[in-house]
Chains A and B, each alone.
Chain A
Amino acid sequence: MIGNFFDQFWSLTFGGLSLGFIYILIALGYTLVYGVLRMINFANSEIFMVGTFATVIVIRDLYKFTQSSEYATGFRLWLVLGTALIITMIISGLLSMVVELVAYRRLRRRNSGVLAPLISAIGVSMVLAESVRIMTDSRPVASPRAMEKSFIGKFFDADIRLDNTIIVIAALLLFFTLWNFINRTRLGKAIRAVSMNPSAAKLMGIDIDKIVSATFLIGGVMTGAAGFFYVLKYENTASSIGFELGIAAFTAAILGGIGNIKGAFFGGLALGLLETYASFFLGTQWKAVTVFIVLVMVLYTRPNGLFGESITQTRV
C-alpha cells in the first residue's frame, strides 16, 4: 500500500492540485461573502452546481459536441473553453447577485440576527438544487468531451495531463486577478473597508448595498469558474454535487481562515491534496467523512484557521 502510494505519489499530487484549485475558487465565494457579511452563504454550493450545468449546456448545446464528436483543437479549442468559462462565470455571478437580493437583502435591512438569513439562504439553495433536480430527472448529466486529455509531459513517473494543467494555470490567473482587484482597485478597497468595519465604511460614504452586491457578484464569478473546471476535469455533473463540493470548499476556507483570501488559497490546496491522498488509502466513498473530520478538528483546535480572524469571538 505504502509502496504503491510512493509509486503514484506524483500523479496523485497533480490530481490533488487541480482539485485543490477548484476548492480554492469555491472557497473564495464563501470567504468574500463572509468578509462583508460575516455570514456563511449557504447558497454558494448551489451556485457552483448551476455553474457546472451552464458549462455543460455551452459545450453540448451551443457548440454541439456529442459523446462521439471529434475533439476541438487549436484555436477552436481555446474559443470553446474560453466562451464556456466566461458564460459560466457571468451566469453564476448574476445568479449569486439574485441570491443576495432574494435571501439576504430584506433581512439585512431589518437587521434580523443570524438565524433568519441562514434559514433563508438554505431555502434558496434548496430551491436551486430542487429545480435543477426536477429539470434533470434526478439523473447525473455527462458532459461531452470537447478536449483531448492528452499528456503534455512527464514529471518523475507521472504524466502531466493537459486538463489538470489548464485548471491550475487558469485558476492561478483568476486568483491573482482577484487578489489585485481586491488590493489595488477602488472597488476592492471599498470591499475591504466594508469587511473591516461596515458602519465606518458607511460613514465614509460607501454604499453598503452596492458593495455587498458586488461582493456576491465576484464570489459567484469565482464559484462559477470552479464549476467550469469541475466539468473539464470530471466531465459530468448532477443536481446533488453542490452539497459535497460546498462542504469541502467551506472546510478549505475555514482551514485557511475564513474571510481571508490568502487563507482560501492555502486551505484549498491543502484540502485538495489531503483529500486525494486520503481517498487513496481509504477509498473514495470515505472522502466526505475525511473532509468532515478535518472540518471538526480545525474548528475545534484552531478555529481561526491558518490566517483568519477568531470566529468564536467575532459577532455579527
Chain B
Amino acid sequence: MINIRDKGAQVWENSGRTGRVAIATLVIAVVASLPFMGGTILNTPIASYESVLVYPIAMFVLMAIGLNIVIGKSGLLDLGYVAFFAIGAYTMGLLGTKTGLNTWEILPIGIAMSMFAGLVLGVPALKLRGDYLAIITLGFGEIVRIVALNLGALGRSEGIIGIPTPPPVFGIEFSFDSHRIYYWTLLIMILLAIWMVRRLSARRAGRAWESIRQDEDVAELLGVPTFRYKIWAFVLGASVGGAAGVIYASKTLFIAPDNFTLQISILILACVVFGGMGNIWGVILGAVVLGYLPDRIRFLSEARLLVFGLVLVLMMNLRPDGLLPRKKREKAIKAKEAV
C-alpha cells in the first residue's frame, strides 16, 4: 500500500505541467462520473448507490479533509468537529426558512459563522495542552447540540423543517432526490478544499503546522507564532465543517439536534485516523471506505460506531500512521534509521 502512494507521488513529481493537468483532469472526470458508473450491486440495503455517494461518502470526505487540517496537519485533537457542521447546518436552516436568502448566499454566511465559532472556542482552548483541548472540544460539540435542543428559536428537538433547496444552477434543478447535482456540488467543494490545503501546506502555514505538530515548544522557541497558526488551523478546519453543514441542511431539508451528536465527530475522526493523519489522499480513502462499508454490509450498519471505535484502537496500536501514511514522516524515519 505504501508503494501505491509512492508510485503515485513519483508519477506526479516526474510529469511536467501538461502531464499534471492531464492527470488531474482525468481523475476529476472519473470521480465526477461516478454516479453513472454504479450498478445495483453497489446499492446499500438502506439507500441507493447514488445517494450514498452524497451522504455519507462525499460529505465524510469533505469533513475529513477539514478535520485533517486540525488533527493531521497541526496535531490538535478536535473532538467536537460536529459543532461546526451543526453551526453551518443551523445557519442554513434559520436563514433559509426565515429570510429570502438562497443556499449560495447563505453558504458564505454559514462558513463565516462556523469560523467565528472556531475562533471563540479556539482562543481559550488552544492555549492548553493536547488532551485538555480534546476534552474542551468534546464538551463544546455536545454544548452546541444541547443549546439547539433547548432554544425555542432553533426548534428544540423538532429541529427546523422545510429548509429550501438551492436554486437551479445552469438550468439543473436541485431536488430532494436528485443526488447527482448534490454530489457534484460537494465534489467542487472537495476540490476547493484539497486545493486550499495543498497550497497552504507547501507554504509558510504548512511548515508552521508541521513544526507545531512535531514539537510545539521547539517551534515556539524558533520563532514560529504557534498560537496564531493553531488558531488558523482550527478556524480553517471549522470553515470546511461549516460549508459541509450548509450543504447537508439544504440536501436533507430537515435538521434536528439528533443529527449532530458526538458520534459524528468520532466518525470523522475515525476516517482521518484510518486513512492516515496528515496525508490528504489517505484521509479521502479513509472517508470513502468508512463511509461506504458500514452501510453496505448490513450487520455492520447497526454496529457501525462499534466498528469505528475498534478501527481507532486497532489503527493506533498496529498502524498508527494509517493506510496511506504521510510522506515526510517516513522520510524522517528512514533518515534516522540510516544514521
Contact = CB atoms under 8 A, between A and B. Distances in A.
A259 interface: no
B277 to A, nearest CB: 8
A296 interface: yes
Interface string A111-147: 0101111111011111100110010000000000000
B143 A292 contact: yes
B214 to A, nearest CB: 9
B136 A295 contact: yes
A115 B308 CA distance: 17
Contacts, number: 122
A39 B131 contact: yes
Given A115-B75, A117-B316, A288 B143 contact: yes
Interface centre among B71, B269, B312 (most CB of A within 10 A): B312
A79 B317 CA distance: 43
A107 B317 CA distance: 6
B332 to A, nearest CB: 14
B266 interface: yes
Given A119-B316, A288-B146, A124 B134 contact: no
Contacts of B146: 285-286, 288-289
Does more than half of chain B's interface fall in helix, strand or loop, or is it mixed?
helix
Nearest to B317: A106
A289 B316 contact: no
A124 B135 contact: no
Interface stretch (B93-101, B122-130, B187-195): B122-130
B302 interface: yes
Interface residues on B, range: 35 or more
A2 to B, nearest CB: 23
Given A130-B306, A285-B149, A299 B132 contact: yes
Interface stretch (A17-25, A171-179, A197-205, A307-315): A307-315
A123 to B, nearest CB: 3
B309 A127 contact: yes
B310 interface: yes
Nearest to B76: A115
A134 B143 contact: no
Interface of A: 39-40, 42, 102-103, 106-107, 112, 114-120, 122-127, 130-131, 134, 243, 247, 250, 285-286, 288-289, 291-292, 295-296, 299-300, 303, 311-312, 314-315
